[in-house]
Amino acid sequence: MRLFSLLLALLLPLPAFAQADRLVDEHSYAEPSKVRISHLALDLEVDFDKRQLAGSATFDLQWADPAARELVLDTRDLEIAKVEGRTGNRKWRELDFSLAEADPRFGSKLTITLPRQFAQVRVTYLTSPQASGLQWLAPGMTAGGKTPFMFSQSQAIHARSWVPLQDTPSVRFTYTARIKTPPSVMALMSADNEPAALRDGDYSFEMPQAIPSYLMAIAAGDLVFKPISPRAGVWAEPQTVDRAVKEFEDTEKMIEVTEQLYGPYRWGRYDLLILPPSFPFGGMENPRLSFITPTVIAGDKSLVSLIAHELAHSWSGNLVTNATWKDMWLNEGFTSYVENRIVEALYGKERADMEFVNSRNGLLEEMKQVPVAQQVLMLPARAGSDPEEALGAVAYDKGAWFLQFLEQRYGREAFDPFLRAWFDQHAFQSATSEQFLAFLEAELMAKNPGKVTREEVLAWMTQPGIPDNAPRIESPRLAAVDAARADWLGDRKAARELPTAAWTTQEWVYFLEGLPATLEPDRLVELDQAFRFTGTGNGEIAQRWYPLSERSQYFEARPAMSLFLRKIGRRKLIMPTYEALASTEDGLAFATQIFAMARPGYHPITIGSVEALLTKARAALEAAPQ
């Protein structure tokens, strides 16, 4: 395969940035070319009062450079008490270490100096109460109101805030852990959680498959388990678990569909952990235990594509991982494509097409604000950049669109086996776009000549925008929504006369996104009286209705808007409303007031996003001519 890659590079040179070593991770201090962590043993105690984890991390090391005498780890706001090393069962020997000055984005470089290449190194440490990858919730912020809650969010580079690690997706390791908590608290990890585990405050875990650091996960709270199938189930607070089991009862069917398409599920169990609404994302694909927002429990399964997405990561992302964040599309683009195939298989092509069209429209809208350099799938190396920038719609939806283009050209009878082979042959590995390009050329293009050219492939991977040859899926049901919207905007029908009785969330999203940026307040009154958008429990509708309300000066929605922003911490759902509020002086004052009340219940990641937005808005208003 290496010879083929060289020939491909000679036949069709990639852009200059793509010819660089894309295995180099600009977002990590680690030096995996010299030494790699192969196994991690954690021994931690959870202190809810101090909002800290305390204990040790022991690393098994694989040395690649005979001359190397340093182990460099990523940390953020960790208090390092001691570092020791040993080989075999010999006595631990204390080692010298230095912790560099903290970079606000990447944390502190931890350099451990060794007299020789020890097989193991142990770091004893303490996390900060403000750790960016952990959220601590007081009992009053949970569904039960009696037990505190803690959970992690390690992607992209937040694992280093609760474990000193080589915090890069290019390094994979197995791990074991012993976690101590108060006896009333159940602890879980992205590992072999036992459904029948006793709640005793002392828990042991094992993850036998090698994973990258961003898939390390921990949670602790008043959690109970209910099964969906022999290998899948739900962990949640007692007040939430029954609704979640009912909403996500198709999870086993999703696993079976994906196995038929792309090969066996290789992680043992697949469970869902339903987190409090402060969780900053829709879901996080932690192996064996996907973290899920409660905002997708809509009562009608209209938002369960998120479960399909997190499950799909068990093949794309968790099994085959992008080696660096520059190639994030190998993770999220593939996953979004597989998600759509799962939705189609279980809920029909009509629904899958509606979801694809909504995602496509969201991508096209977002790309109006995305710098040209970031509109490519193979992102250029940018020292000092925030890896979170790679987590936008380009990686997710342009990546999925590219795979849909390949599927259309080759047909599923050829493309499905190709994608399965990609997962099989790169299982438990970290890959680059160059590797995918070489595999595509050898396994699909060469075996099915004349269907796709190299130039077409590279246009998708290395050029901004969307190629003209992109497939254009259309949805008859969304076309009917277009007609209904036009009838209302053209005063041909009142809102209550529109044929909306059978509309799903996907159709309502499409309806709202197609409205003008602003409307007269009386028009919003009409919509609200007909459809009761204000106060909706559907976050996908709320995230579109409240910004429209604010831009249109429909201030009657503000009380419900305030409640929504204080209750929900999922960034996707709340940031559009904060952005709309922050565009005016009055709205900014209102947003600042809401944020002050909501902040204690927000995750550090969400706090950072809202703070940055409000700070920028204040600066813009101060600089504006009076």
CA atoms within 13 A on the CB side of 331: 27
Find the helix packing angle between 476-489 and 349-367, rounded to 10°.
Answer: 60
* Options 396, 410, 578, 602, the catalytic residue: 396
Would you state the structure tokens that stand for residue 202, as one six-digit string? 């002392």
Ranges assigned E (strand) in 76-231: 79-86, 93-94, 96-99, 108-113, 120-126, 134-137, 149-152, 172-180, 186-189, 202-212, 218-221, 224-229
- Residue 364: is it exposed, middle or buried by C-beta count within 10 angstroms (0-12/13-18/19+)? middle
Would you state the structure tokens that stand for residue 316, as one six-digit string? 């794309």
Instruction: Tell which residue, 325, 324, 320, 361, has the closest CA to residue 338.
Output: 320
- Give the β-pairing of 79-86 and 108-113: unpaired
Q: How far apart are CA 152 and CA 150, in angstroms?
A: 7
Find the largest Cα–Cα distance for the chain.
84
Specify whether the CB–CB gap between 496 and 530 falls below 8 A.
yes
Helix (H) or strand (E) holding 523: helix 521-531
Specify whether the CB–CB gap between 152 and 61 falls below 8 A.
no
Helix (H) or strand (E) holding 97: strand 96-99
Q: How far apart are CA 486 and CA 473, in angstroms?
A: 21
Amino acid letter, 132: S
Rg (CA), the chain: 25
For residue 45, indicate whether it is catalytic.
no
- Give the β-pairing of 96-99 and 149-152: unpaired
Would you state the structure tokens that stand for residue 468, as one six-digit string? 């003209």
For residue 310, indicate whether it is catalytic.
yes
Q: How far apart are CA 364 and CA 98, in angstroms?
A: 47
CA 1-404-374 angle, 5° bins: 80
* Options 84, 237, 247, 310, the catalytic residue: 310
Q: How far apart are CA 368 and CA 584, in angstroms?
A: 22
Helix (H) or strand (E) holding 333: helix 329-347
Indicate which residues carry an active-site annotation.
Answer: 310, 396
